[in-house]
Structure 1
Amino acid sequence: MATSMRRTETAEHSAPPVVRRMWLWAAAHAVDDFYQGLVPASVPYFVLERHYSYVAASGLTLAATLGSALPQPLIGIAVDRLRLPRLAAAGVLLAGAGFALSGTAGSYAVVWVLLLLSGLGVAMFHPAAGKAAREAAGDSVTGMSVFAAGGSVGFFLAPVLATPALVAWGAGGTVVFLPPAVLVAFVLARNVRRARDGAVPAPDGPALWRPFAVLTAISVVRSAVFAAVATFIGLYWIRHLDGSQAMAGTALACFLGGGVAGTVLGGRLADRIGLVRTVRLGAVLVTPALAGLRLAPGPLLPLPFAVLVGLTLNVPFAVLVRLGQDYLPGRPGTAAGVTLGLSVSAGGLLTPVFGLAADAHGAQAVFTLLCFVPAVAYLLGLFLTPPPERLT
């Protein structure tokens, strides 16, 4: 009992330094995912300026998605075996350079390849940064939630900052977004030795592939709901709630902003009630939030529910990353590559299924269907088991 109390006191005293150490990785994650969010935000400007078809426009998003999704598990394996301490810095730089140059390219094929390379940069960052962030966070789930929240912040800022730049300079305005990638890459490369000195040894033990597979399925379900809401919430506000375009943008901002808060809240909850319970709780709470969003009338009353949907949907986000690394204790890069990369992209690939429902019955049909999807995540969560205590 005394030993347990001493461990608790030690964790409490060490928590603030851990969280402070995470801010660098959170900022880097924000910049990396900023470029991921810039791709869909910039596609309309390519269409208007260069007269791309809708098929060609969707091809640009597909290029970035393929580049970021498919390589991540393989990159994660390489990170676990070879360490590659500067890969995260190289990934941010490639993500930024690929996107920045895409607007200056003339032919569609070159634009497509540059966005594919930008996605590859995102894929290079996540496993390496996820492993380094876990080492910096140690046993603190709150620390990992700060890292994960950085990605949510970056994705949130992308459309906010892209719109004025691309309105002013057109597709060629993508070049103004290169400096953050250069700066963050430089800082990460310089920080390699300091991060290594402050790292907490990774826990040891056998890989638990069965619960990790269940966890991956939950992550896909969560990301499918996230992608569907992000894609259709604006259309829902305009075409079903009779809101203005400004209100539609506000609804998206409320959803994404709630996601940032939910990511941090999920880490704090997991430190108190446990990882598995937090995953299940998020699946339970998001259903009434979605129902409220679907049933509230008018363009104003559903806005608080948009915040709640983003918050509850992201409560398990950082927890899924951390839990995946606990299930694969010797493979933190692989676990991060799957939970941060492959699962999120796979969930996005399910969005066309909801698009078929929207074409047939309107955007409101998407949110009706979404009220039932989290039940799948909850049922899968019943098969999760807490990871065993590991020796560090």
Structure 2
Amino acid sequence: MRRNISIILLAVGHACVDIYQGAVAALVPFFVAERGYGYAAVSGVVLAASLLSSVTQPLFGVLTDRRAVPWLLPTSTALGGLGVALCGTAPSYGLTLLFVAVSGIGVAAYHPESARVARLVSRGSHRAMAWFSTGGNVGFALAPFTVAAVVSDGGLRRTPLLVLPALVGGALCLPMLRRRGRGPVTAARGTPPALVDDAASFRRLTVAVMCRSIVFVGLSTFIALYAQQRTGGDTAAGTTALFVLYLGGAVGSVLGGALAERWNRVTVCRWSYAVAAGAVAGVLLAPGPLLYLFVAVTSISLYVPFSLQVTLGQDYLPSRIGTASGITLGLTVSVGGLLSPAIGRLADITSLRTALAPLVLMPVLSWLLFHTLREPAVDRQVSDTAGQLPAGT
């Protein structure tokens, strides 16, 4: 029961933090309408948040490998909310970028430590880790609605109200701090067990996760416009497609944890990427409203491996759990973000459908890479202990 409560608190806290990952993109229309930002300017705002967050997460992962830093959870949550809260009131473009970057750093600092803590309190349960990941997916999906509810009527001057999820998330982190010295969250003392890293498998896993990132970020960037074109609808048609894409992520994460309790993670990921390849093709070819069905299947199949890849990375690098978490949760995301402008450029030259067509290959590549991986033979007790052995304690 105590483990379940801890995972629930971490999952809800994860949702509160990941609201800020989606909030910056959700604020873009308001920056355009109120400040007259052009495409280049708003791209800079989004890039300042997503790229900085993704690149710095591995650095925080290295930090959490060296010592347990549970205080990072409430501190990073506060930074994530504060940056977004202030960006709408910034008097200049430069300060807007600075505040958005602060939010990105907060999000980056949160994930490696929270993933380490979730792994420890879950005691190796794939289902529990899936619920932790689902919390973040739900928060990301709620971001557009949260921003709209706050900013639609009063404009950007009301963005300080967006700090409220951070206050909630920070409060939910406090029980983790109170357990310091009593539970598995804190650093264990003594001699660490022998841990063997499988760096080659981790590198192949990283490339597979990057391929997943490219297809998901590419779709999330353009699916709203594509749905409007394919269905002949208005902006509501595009918003619906985006919501289905995000909602499917929450479903897929829970399903992934359940499947991994019955079959091994590598096998589940292989199946999922095979389904994803067909589903992405369906998104491109399906006529009319049938598009939404394939969007849902695509999202679910891309998110079934999400939490499983995080724990696989941790098991391939048992002596560097924080680093593995930072890379699988953060660095790989930047690849999808960096390639999105190239998709847009190709769409300008040809058509959006043609530009999205190469995305079908990405889950195929992930499927092929997972055929080179094997389920790690991990002593769960030893692996869990690895996350408790920071240097200097």
TM-score by length of 1: 0.92
Q: Which residue of 1 aligns with 2:60?
A: 75
- Structure 2 residue matching 1:120: 3-state secondary structure: helix
Q: Which residue of 2 aligns with 1:209?
A: 199
1:303 matched to 2:296 = no
- AA in 1 matched with 2:153: A
Query: For 1:238, which of 221, 228, 244 is the aligned residue?
Result: 228
1:227 matched to 2:217 = yes
Shift in Å, 1:190: 4.1
For the 8 Å contact 2:14–2:169, the answer to whether it is kept is: no
Query: For 2:76, which of 64, 69, 91 is the aligned residue?
Result: 91
- 1:53-132 matches, cutoff 5 A: 53-132=38-117
Tell me how far apart the structure 2 counterparts of residues 182 and 21 of structure 1 sit (CA, whole Å). 18
1:355 matched to 2:344 = yes
Higher relative contact order (CA 8 A, sep 6+): 2
- AA in 2 matched with 1:118: S
- Structure 1 residue matching 2:210: 3-state secondary structure: helix
Shift in Å, 1:347: 2.2
1:374 matched to 2:360 = no
Q: Which residue of 2 aligns with 1:47?
A: 32
Shift in Å, 1:180: 1.7
Q: Which moved more, 1:189-198 or 1:56-65?
A: 189-198
Query: For 1:170, which of 151, 155, 160 is the aligned residue?
Result: 155
For the 8 Å contact 1:239–1:363, the answer to whether it is kept is: no
Q: Which residue of 2 aligns with 1:247?
A: 237
For the 8 Å contact 2:13–2:172, the answer to whether it is kept is: no
CA RMSD of aligned residues (A): 1.8
For the 8 Å contact 2:30–2:156, the answer to whether it is kept is: yes
1:385 matched to 2:374 = yes
Shift in Å, 1:198: 4.1
For the 8 Å contact 1:67–1:118, the answer to whether it is kept is: no
1:192 matched to 2:182 = no
Tell me how far apart the structure 2 counterparts of residues 65 and 312 of structure 1 sit (CA, whole Å). 23
**Percent of matched pairs sharing the same residue:** 39
For the 8 Å contact 2:227–2:291, the answer to whether it is kept is: no
Q: Which residue of 2 aligns with 1:27?
A: 12
For the 8 Å contact 2:14–2:135, the answer to whether it is kept is: yes
Q: Which residue of 2 aligns with 1:6?
A: none
Count of residues paired in the alignment: 376
- Structure 2 residue matching 1:207: 3-state secondary structure: coil
Q: Which residue of 2 aligns with 1:331?
A: 320
- AA in 2 matched with 1:106: P
Tell me how far apart the structure 2 counterparts of residues 161 and 195 of structure 1 sit (CA, whole Å). 33
Shift in Å, 1:17: 5.7
Tell me how far apart the structure 1 counterparts of residues 344 and 193 of structure 2 sit (CA, whole Å). 43
Q: Which residue of 1 aligns with 2:168?
A: 183
- Structure 1 residue matching 2:258: 3-state secondary structure: helix
Shift in Å, 1:136: 1.0
Tell me how far apart the structure 2 counterparts of residues 162 and 337 of structure 1 sit (CA, whole Å). 27
Q: Which residue of 2 aligns with 1:5?
A: none
For the 8 Å contact 2:58–2:327, the answer to whether it is kept is: yes
1:264 matched to 2:249 = no
Tell me how far apart the structure 1 counterparts of residues 10 and 19 of structure 2 sit (CA, whole Å). 14
Shift in Å, 1:289: 1.3
Tell me how far apart the structure 1 counterparts of residues 273 and 168 of structure 2 sit (CA, whole Å). 38
Q: Which moved more, 1:193-202 or 1:303-312?
A: 193-202
Q: 1:351 to 1:323 in 2, by over 3 A?
A: same
Q: Which residue of 2 aligns with 1:36?
A: 21
Q: 1:107 to 1:146 in 2, by over 3 A?
A: same
- Structure 2 residue matching 1:273: 3-state secondary structure: coil
Q: Which residue of 1 aligns with 2:389?
A: none
- AA in 2 matched with 1:134: R
Q: Which runs of 5+ in 2 are unaligned?
A: 383-393
Tell me how far apart the structure 2 counterparts of residues 203 and 339 of structure 1 sit (CA, whole Å). 24
Tell me how far apart the structure 1 counterparts of residues 343 and 335 of structure 2 sit (CA, whole Å). 14
